[in-house]
Amino acid sequence: MKSKLRGCGKAMQWAVAFGLLCPGGCADDNAAGGSGVPGGPELWNEADPGRLLAAGRNLLTNPGFDRDLSGWTVDSGPAVISWTNDDPADCGSSGSLQIDNGSGDSSQRVWQCVPVSPATTYDFGVRLRGGGLIHCVVDLYGSGGCEGAPRKAADLSWINVYWSIDLGSPEAGASPFSSDDAVSARIACWAESPGAPKLDMAYLSPAPAG
């Protein structure tokens, strides 16, 4: 059964799901042009409403970049990493993170480290906008604070100039992953090539069956 929340369409569904603000009047990202793509891609898989059951358990701080980049660590480097008001759901009260990487140096990261529970299944997703290749990955660690040797659990990328769909969704070919014996996870994004790509609506959440 579809969940219909008025005011911001899919943007409101995502905002309610992960505790973000999206006042009424925002464009529906399923409406034409709402996401920069005619017809507007789905953020959630409406054929699988169970995905919304994990709502409210997003482990990331400031995943939707409502006003700034708070909660995210920006490594030093040549790229200019900043907040922009370009939002994939055309939500005027929110924005996204932009990596202006004119040099093409791919070593500079923007990231968060969060605690995770061992032997738990997680969903990881994000919406990306190209203008240069952008990657977002999840690395798992057996020690707290993301210390020690990492194990890569997820790797999402995008190069198209339009906003992507939710790259953690089944439509994008993604699937949940197990934390195994990990107790912390590092979510890191970077621009792989020259350009100014963006990211928004990131989540790391226990899967509905997790």
Would you say the C-alpha torsion 34, 15, 114, 84 has a positive or negative sign? positive
Residue 202 C-beta-side C-alpha neighbours within 13 Å: 33
pLDDT of 73 reads: 98
Give the pLDDT confidence of 153-178 residue by residue, as tens digits.
999 999 999 999 999 988 899 999 99
Nearest to 174 by CA among 205, 140, 142: 205
What span, in angstroms and rounded, lies between the C-alpha atoms of 28 and 8? Answer: 5
For the chain, the structural domain boundaries read: 57-206
pLDDT score of 208: 78
Q: Specify the pLDDT at position 209.
A: 53
| Domain 57-206: CATH class, spelled out | mainly beta
More confident residue, 51 or 38: 51
Residue with tokens 């994008």: 172
Model pLDDT for residues 100-155, shown as the tens digit of each residue:
998 888 899 999 999 999 999 999 999 999 888 999 999 999 999 999 999 999 99
Q: What is this structure's pTM?
A: 0.77
Of 42 and 17, which is predicted with more confidence?
17
